[in-house]
Amino acid sequence: MVIFISGSINSGKTTIGKLLKTKFPHTAHIDDELHDITDRLPLEEAIALHIKNTLSLTSNFLEKDFNVIISYPIYKDEYEYFNKNLPIETERFFFTLNPRLDYALINRGTRELTGWEIERIKYHYQTGINNPDFGITIDNTMHTPEETVSEMLYYIEQRDIRREMED
């Protein structure tokens, strides 16, 4: 199983991914911090490389029977890329965290947003990464991380129930 958690910077992807990982045995969590490896590349080049690397890592983990959680902001093109290139039998879930913009722009926890991050968040919202036309979008503005994980688990369990009814 592969669970994608998309959303803008500061939407809660990493926190939710770490919590969700505790709910599934034998699970790897690939985070967008992998981008730090390529910090000398222009952003668009780095993103393309990171998406390919994420697919490679995911494939390696799936071969070893791991579940995989990917916390990374993805657009429709990346969604289609993963769907096209993951093994057909791989169960996948796509979630997007969509807190209100004013909430995404504030410092939360120990994180202090940089000027670049604030502008990137605004860009993400302008380009719709926070509310795509695929997967399940969750407004987590007023949710605790645990409540967001519970909502995601609900959707995953509903899919499992529907599959059992079909069998």
φ, ψ dihedrals at 112, nearest 5°: -115, 115
Cβ contact 76:134 at 8 Å: yes
pLDDT, one tens digit per residue, over 97-124 is 999 999 999 987 777 999 999 999 999 9
What is the rounded distance in angstroms from the CA atom of residue 69 to the CA atom of residue 52? 16
- The domain locations on the chain are 2-166
Cα atoms found within 13 Å of the Cα of residue 102, Cβ hemisphere only: 1
Which spans in 8-144 are helix H? 13-21, 43-63, 76-85, 101-104, 115-126
Place of tokens 């409540």: 147
Q: Which of 19, 17, 23, 25 is nearest to 65 (CA)?
A: 25
Has residue 150 got a pLDDT over 50?
yes
The stretch 45-69 carries a mean pLDDT of 90
- pLDDT grade for 167, boundaries at 50, 70 and 90: very low
pTM of the predicted model, to two decimals? 0.89
CA angle 82, 88, 92 (to 5 degrees): 55
Class of domain 2-166: alpha beta
Task: Name which of 8-17, 26-35, 58-67 the model is least confident about.
Answer: 26-35
Residue 77 scores a pLDDT above 70: yes
Cα radius of gyration rounded to whole Å, the chain: 16
